[in-house]
């Protein structure tokens, strides 16, 4: 049986290459370090279908250093650096599950978070680092005991982004109101991106008025995600981005299989349908928007 035969249930089988885009775009948010294969392979595969640029996002110190190194080595890769909203509380409180590299060493308190933030600050100054993130708030994975550390870390990242003139990349999970509040209180950087946009059409209006970019991931294709499609339908054309958040959120019809930047065209086509525009028009806008959003 060919490896990509329909009906195959192997969750580890990479989906087939989609039809190439005629207008090249960027994957505005990916995690190459969590995907299988080499960076060269991932970039070549993506470029073969018109995904010629990727933004590699750091989630902890090791991942942020790796993102910066990779962006220095490849013209097609831009980096962002941060402590993920779920990482900050682990640094302060320790990590009972041993999930994270820093947290596994045990509780480090506020001093450990400050130390980690100082390293993010240092990395954020590098020219190939275009953004600070993903940062923000995640009330899905972090419980009430981690909220304080999470918000403190978020505010610090906003400050770092502004001081270095870098783009802020927001991770907002089940925390829309508080994310918007913190941004308002701190004063958002000139360029702010809501990665894996998860708000509804009403919030898209708020983001539009504030000039925040909204980056849509593969979950916009999910059957139960009508709220995301409603938001995408009303978002201003100049503020819409596309991303994979790979290896997560593989678009339909490949949901559940490994995601990678080469699958961006699948999401772009679904987005074009939602917005009622042709693929090339949307791809041109996405390419220009991503370059503007990350200042490259």
**140 versus 206: smaller Cβ distance to Zn ion:** 140
**18 versus 136: smaller Cβ distance to Zn ion:** 136
In angstroms, what is the minimal distance from the CB of 169 to Zn ion? 8
**95 versus 134: smaller Cβ distance to Zn ion:** 134
Q: Select from 78, 157, 166, 171 the one that contacts Zn ion (CB under 5 A).
A: 171
292, with CB counted inside 10 A (0-12, 13-18, 19+), is middle
In angstroms, what is the minimal distance from the CB of 138 to Zn ion? 8
**228 versus 275: smaller Cβ distance to Zn ion:** 228
Q: Which of residues 31-90 bind Zn ion (CB under 5 A)?
A: none
Q: Which of residues 105-144 bind Zn ion (CB under 5 A)?
A: 134
**32 versus 240: smaller Cβ distance to Zn ion:** 32
Report d(CA 69, CA 74) in Å as an integer.
Answer: 9
Binders of Zn ion: how many residues, by CB under 5 A?
3
- What is the dihedral angle through the alpha carbons of 146, 151, 154, 156, rounded to the nearest 10 degrees? -110
In angstroms, what is the minimal distance from the CB of 126 to Zn ion? 20
Residue with tokens 């989630």: 59
In angstroms, what is the minimal distance from the CB of 137 to Zn ion? 11
With contacts defined by CB under 5 A, name the span among 18-26, 148-156, 242-250, 252-260 that binds Zn ion. 242-250
Q: Which residues contact 188 (CB under 8 A, 6 or more apart)?
A: 158, 168, 210, 212
Report d(CA 247, CA 259) in Å as an integer.
Answer: 4
Phi, psi dihedral angles at 218 (to 5 degrees): -60, -20
Report d(CA 97, CA 118) in Å as an integer.
Answer: 25
**134 versus 151: smaller Cβ distance to Zn ion:** 134
The verdict on 157 binding Zn ion (CB under 5 A) reads: no
In angstroms, what is the minimal distance from the CB of 87 to Zn ion? 11
**171 versus 257: smaller Cβ distance to Zn ion:** 171
Q: Select from 71, 245, 282, 289 the one that contacts Zn ion (CB under 5 A).
A: 245
| Continuous H helices in the chain | 39-48, 61-73, 87-93, 109-124, 147-164, 176-186, 201-210, 226-234, 264-275, 279-294
Residue with tokens 């990349």: 169
Q: Which of 273, 265, 283, 280 is nearest to 17 (CA)?
A: 265
**∠ Cα 22 274 134 (to 5°):** 80
In angstroms, what is the minimal distance from the CB of 6 to Zn ion? 30
In angstroms, what is the minimal distance from the CB of 195 to Zn ion? 6
Residues within the interface to Zn ion (CB under 5 A): 134, 171, 245
């Amino acid at each position: 049986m060919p490896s990509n035969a329909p009906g195959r249930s192997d969750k580890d089988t990479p989906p087939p290459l989609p039809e190439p885009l005629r207008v090249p775009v960027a994957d505005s948010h990916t995690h190459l370090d969590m995907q299988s294969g080499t960076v060269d392979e991932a970039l070549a595969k993506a470029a073969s279908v018109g995904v010629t640029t990727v933004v590699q996002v750091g989630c902890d110190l090791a991942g942020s250093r790796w993102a910066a190194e990779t962006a220095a080595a490849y013209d097609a890769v831009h980096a962002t650096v941060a402590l993920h909203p779920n990482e900050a509380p682990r640094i302060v409180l320790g990590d009972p599950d041993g999930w994270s590299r820093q947290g596994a060493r045990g509780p480090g308190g506020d001093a450990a978070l400050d130390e980690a933030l100082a390293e993010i600050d240092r990395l954020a100054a590098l020219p190939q680092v275009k953004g600070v993130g993903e940062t923000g708030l995640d009330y899905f994975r972090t419980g009430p005991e981690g909220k304080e550390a999470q918000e403190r870390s978020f505010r610090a990242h906003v400050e770092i982004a502004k001081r270095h003139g870098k783009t802020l990349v927001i991770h907002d999970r089940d925390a829309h109101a508080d994310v918007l509040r913190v941004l308002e209180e701190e004063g958002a950087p000139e360029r702010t991106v809501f990665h894996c946009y998860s708000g509804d059409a009403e919030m898209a209006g708020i983001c539009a008025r504030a000039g925040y970019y909204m980056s849509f991931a593969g979950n916009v294709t999910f059957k139960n995600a009508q709220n995301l499609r409603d938001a995408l339908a009303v978002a201003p054309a100049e503020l819409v981005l596309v991303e994979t958040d790979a290896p997560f959120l593989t678009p339909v019809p490949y949901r559940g299989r490994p995601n990678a930047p080469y699958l961006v065209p699948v999401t772009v086509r679904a987005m074009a349908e939602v917005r009622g525009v042709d693929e090339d028009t949307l791809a041109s806008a996405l390419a220009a928007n991503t370059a503007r959003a990350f200042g490259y």
